[in-house]
Every structure is written in C-alpha cells, then in structure tokens.
Amino acid sequence: MRHFLRDDDLTPAELVEVLDLAAELKAAPYAHKPLEGPQTVAIIFDKPTLRTQASFVAGIAELGGNPMVVDGNLAQIGTRESIADVARVLGRQASLIVWRTHDQSRIDEMAAYAGVPVVNALTDQFHPCQTLADLLTIREHKGDRPGGLAGLTMTFLGDAACNMGHSYLLSGAAAGMHVRVSGPDGFQPDPEILARARAIAAGTGGSAEIVLDPEAASEGADVLITDTWISMGKEAESSDRAEVFRPWQLNEDLLARGADDAIVLHCLPAYRGKEISAGVLDGPQSVIWDEAENRRHAQKAIITWLTR
C-alpha cells in the first residue's frame, strides 16, 4: 500500500508520472473517474483550511467520488480515541484518507492502521500536496525546457524550518532543481531533511543548500517563493518574529536580483507587507492564483495514482 506522507514518498521518476497525470487531468477535468461509485474520501482537518478543503472537495467530486469532510475538533483524534482506532474506523468507510494535522508521527500512525492510502494535507513538517501543485505551476510557466524542471533554481525565503521549507528541499531535489532555502538564524531546516534532499539531488543533478543571506539566495533565481512567517500553531511567537524576519521579505529589491523572467509563488494565506510586499504578490511575475488552482489538479493526480 502506497501513501503520500512526505515529498520523498515519490521517487523522481514517479514525481514526473504524477505531474504528467496532473497536467492531463487539468486539460480534461472530467474525463477520468477513478472514484466512480462514488467511493468516499475522508478529509480531516485538525488545523484551519481554505484552499485545501476547497480543492480536495472539488477535486474528489470531479473524480467521481464523495468527499467526506471530518472536523478534527469534533473527532479529537488521539484524545477522544486513539489514532489507530480512528484509522481503522475511517478505513472501513473511505477508500482514501486525507489529513491535515500536527506532528508527522500522527499521520505515520494513521497510515500504519488505515488499510487505505493516506495523503498528507499538511503537517508541522511537510506540505507535499502544495509542492506538487507548485512544481506543476513552475512547469506551466517555464514552458517546455529540455529537461523539464531540472536545472532551474528555486529559492525559498522565510521560515526555512517550516513545513514548506522542508517540502521544497525534498521535491525540488527530486525534480533536479537547485533549491536554496534562506531564513534567519534559528529558522533553518531539520538537518536530516537537508541531508535527505542532498542525497536525492545527487541522483538527479540538482542541489540543496542553505544560503543565509537573502540577497545572495535570490541572485539569478528562476523561482522565488515565500510563506507566512507564522505557521499555524506558532501564533504565540508572532510579535518576536516580525522584526527578525524583515530582511527576508520577498519585495521588489529581492525580486530584482532574480532572473529577469523569475516567477513568484506563495502557498497562501499571504500577509502583504510582512513576508511579501503587495507589489510583488499582486505584480506581473506572481503566478499565485494559478498555483492555488493547481492544488486541485495535483491532488486529483496523486489520488488517482495512489488508487489506480
């Protein structure tokens, strides 16, 4: 049984397959009905959501399935009953389980007991559905370069210790990209994930590096990315972070250091004037609305791939 719990659950070759499938599903959204029946997909949220809920619900319906949203606050998974018991129960109702939760160990446990494929819709450590959508978006905007995404430089600015920093390292390395992550002292990626990204990059011709200086990190980048400085669950640290992160704001100065045709991504929600300037977020190099739409196509692809 295959799951999608972190980006490196797909090999580089499988990543290409899933991205190809996403492009195919985007071109013909109603042509494939792998969930016909309809089969039910459970989508559980232990944290806030907008894009993830909307894109999974719409996408599962387009695949012929029945999306069943489960409120994690009501279910109280791991408190009211064990993760293993919830997994066994939901696995008897649904063909696949999608979960947004806290620590990665929770979704690992869900996958161990569910008996159906489990997809990570964001944990504290990874957000692999977002990076699938992002790679699809980069492909679309960078055209048919020889080698696809390979060789492009992708820079992530901000909280490099957060789920997005980790997921860009792993997924970008798998795509053969040169991934740079840049954040303040104390906000660096987990060394084990960086090492894993480097091991993947060794096989794809990509690279994975920490570049502390945000200006150097942005130099010549084909793709410039940021994310909120305050991830869900870190709200108590918001006042301390605002000043520390200021030099990493993705603004006109940093964008000017990127390639002339650099594109800007942001997984949203965005805070204009904080991690990104309004001019950059709403400017001509931003492809964030395509990126948000592509969540649906990318997630349809991973669901189709896992249940095929």
Site string for ligand NVA, 256-275 (x = CB under 6 A): -----------x--------
Helix (H, G, I), strand (E, B) or coil at 90: helix
DSSP letter for each residue of 123-187:
-SS--HHHHHHHHHHHHHHH-S-TTTTTT-EEEEES-TTSHHHHHHHHHHHHTT-EEEEE--TT-
Residues in 69-88 at the binding interface with ligand NVA, rule: CB under 6 A? none
If one asks whether residue 106 binds ligand NVA (CB under 6 A), the answer comes out as: no
For ligand NVA, which residue of 150, 232, 242, 244 counts as binding (CB under 6 A)? 232
Q: What is the end-to-end Cα distance of the chain in Å, rounded?
A: 11
- The one segment of 29-37, 112-120, 170-178, 227-235 that binds ligand NVA by CB under 6 A: 227-235
Site string for ligand NVA, 135-174 (x = CB under 6 A): ---------------------------xxx----------
Report the catalytic residues. 100, 127, 130, 227, 267, 295
Q: Which is nearer to ligand NVA, 222 or 227 (CB)?
A: 227
If one asks whether residue 94 binds ligand NVA (CB under 6 A), the answer comes out as: no
If one asks whether residue 281 binds ligand NVA (CB under 6 A), the answer comes out as: no
Q: Tell me the residue nearest to ligand NVA as measured from the CB.
A: 231
b/e sequence 283-296, b meaning 16+ C-beta within 10 Å: eeebbbeebbbbbb
Site string for ligand NVA, 110-129 (x = CB under 6 A): ------------x----x--
Q: Closest approach of Cβ 232 to ligand NVA, in Å?
A: 4
Q: Closest approach of Cβ 158 to ligand NVA, in Å?
A: 9
CB 302 within 8 A of CB 127: no
Residue 234, exposed/middle/buried by CB under 10 A (0-12, 13-18, 19+)?
middle
- The one segment of 148-156, 186-194, 225-233, 289-297 that binds ligand NVA by CB under 6 A: 225-233
Helix (H, G, I), strand (E, B) or coil at 270: coil
Q: Which is nearer to ligand NVA, 63 or 162 (CB)?
A: 162
Q: Closest approach of Cβ 143 to ligand NVA, in Å?
A: 27
Q: Closest approach of Cβ 84 to ligand NVA, in Å?
A: 25
Measured distance CA(77)–CA(93) in Å, rounded: 16
Bond before 184 cis per omega within 30 degrees: no
Structure tokens at 227: 């994310």
| Percent helix / strand / coil, the chain, rounded to 5 | 50, 15, 35
Measured distance CA(72)–CA(216) in Å, rounded: 42
Helix (H, G, I), strand (E, B) or coil at 252: helix
Measured distance CA(254)–CA(133) in Å, rounded: 24
If one asks whether residue 62 binds ligand NVA (CB under 6 A), the answer comes out as: no
Q: Which is nearer to ligand NVA, 163 or 182 (CB)?
A: 163
The residues binding ligand NVA (CB under 6 A) are: 122, 127, 162-164, 227-228, 231-232, 267
